[in-house]
Amino acid sequence: MRPKEMQKQLTRLTVLLLMALEAASQALRGCPNSCGSVSIPYPFGIGNSNHTGANCFLMKELNLTCTNSTLYHGQGNIQILNISLAGKIDMLVHISEVYKNESLGKKYNIGNRPRFSVPVFTISSEDNKFVTVGCDTYGYVSSIRKVTEFSTGCSTRCNTLEIVESMQRSGNCTGIGCCQVDIPPGMKNITFRAFSFYNFNSTSDFNKCGYSFVVKNGNYTFSVDHLKGVPFNMTPLVMEWSVGKDTCDISKQRTDYACKNNSDCENSPFDDGYRCKCKPGFQGNAYHPDGCQGNSIIYYFLILTFRQI
């Protein structure tokens, strides 16, 4: 076999072995490894093990539900799209909508208020944007952290459709018809909501509704048509997760310390809890009882393969 062909073959074998190693250490014994197309790595889990009867999850905040091959957090109000052992979790969350209601007075507007309150989850400031769409609309996202509430948001006003069209630049959210702001770091227990300044009285011929939502970067493109109604009622966003409530130094003294063999502990960047990761040269799930596996098995496998070739 030629050297280039041999190198390609070894690369493929290495990838397959790493994938098998990762898949083998996802869930606890007797617990579901996936729901639909979404993998469920421990410390997350669903219910109890059919082998031991113990919890499939490390802590109650990480207990999930699988309904009709769709994965949800808690009792089924937040859909989960992906879980990463690097401390990120992709979710699908309802948007907030405010709309004109002529029968209830000039300044009356109605808006739903999506809420997500799980202490171990923090909205990712680097992976999301907060967006408000409309021509008579303002919105905010709020957080309660250690009894302190803080918010951020943006507003957008435009009296004619023509001004929005003239400012439109390839789907960018320019601040006219659509505005967006960065998410501050460390926001927990979040709520967000859209409001109208004047119940869309000056814009009702082309814009009767406004919208506010948190969305994962790259997953929303503004269109002038959205002033008549956005074509979705949910958006993907990214949360960051951790385990425990104390720092690494304190947690290491506890019997429920989550970091297993060949792993390191890192304090959460948001004061509460910690994360586990495999030491350099090891692969697998740092939270799983089997711990992280050394690369020596990979090298041994490759040597045997090389000799056979």
Using the structure block, give the residue that is written with the tokens 């004047």. Answer: 198
With a CB cutoff of 8 Å and minimum separation 6, the contacts of 290 are 25, 260, 261, 284
Both 108 and 231 in a single domain?
yes
Taking every pair of C-alpha atoms in the chain, what is the biggest distance, in angstroms?
82
Question: Distance (Å, rounded) from C-alpha 46 to C-alpha 50?
Answer: 11
Domain boundary among 217, 240, 263: 240
Domain membership flag for residue 140: yes
- Give the per-residue pLDDT at 25: 54
Q: For helices 296-308 and 3-24, give the axis angle rounded to 10 degrees.
A: 140
Domain of 129, in residue numbers = 90-240
- Residue 51 CB-half CA count within 13 A: 7
Looking at residue 29, its pLDDT comes to 93
Residue 155 sits at the vertex; the CA angle it makes with 151 and 159, to the nearest 5 degrees, is: 165
For residues 99 and 82, membership in a common domain is answered with no
Q: What is the DSSP string of 270-296?
A: TSS-EEEEEPTTEEE-TTSTT-EEETH
Is residue 248 one of the residues assigned to a domain? yes
pLDDT at residue 213 in the model: 96
pLDDT of residue 267: 95
Residue at 202 is within a domain: yes
Let me know whether 30 and 83 are in one domain.
yes
One domain for residues 210 and 249: no
Q: Is residue 150 a part of any domain in this protein? A: yes
Region of 244 on the Ramachandran plot (φ > 0 left; ψ -120 to 50 alpha; else beta): left
Statement to judge: residues 226 and 258 lie in one domain? no
Number of domains in the chain: 2
* Parts of the chain with a pLDDT under 70: 1-25, 75-76, 101-110, 170, 295-309
130, 178 contact by CB (below 8 A): no
- For residues 66 and 157, membership in a common domain is answered with no
Residue 253's identity, in one-letter code, is Q
CB 182 within 8 A of CB 106: no
Cβ neighbours of residue 83 closer than 8 Å, sequence gap 6 or more? 38, 39, 40, 41, 44, 89, 90
Long-range contacts of 168-176 (CB under 8 A, 24+ apart): 168/222, 168/224, 171/221, 171/222, 171/223, 172/222, 173/131, 173/220, 173/222
Are residues 36 and 82 located together in one domain of the fold?
yes
Residue with structure tokens 């030491």?
A: 279
Q: What is the pLDDT of residue 104?
A: 56
What does pTM read for this prediction? 0.84
Output the pLDDT for position 13.
55
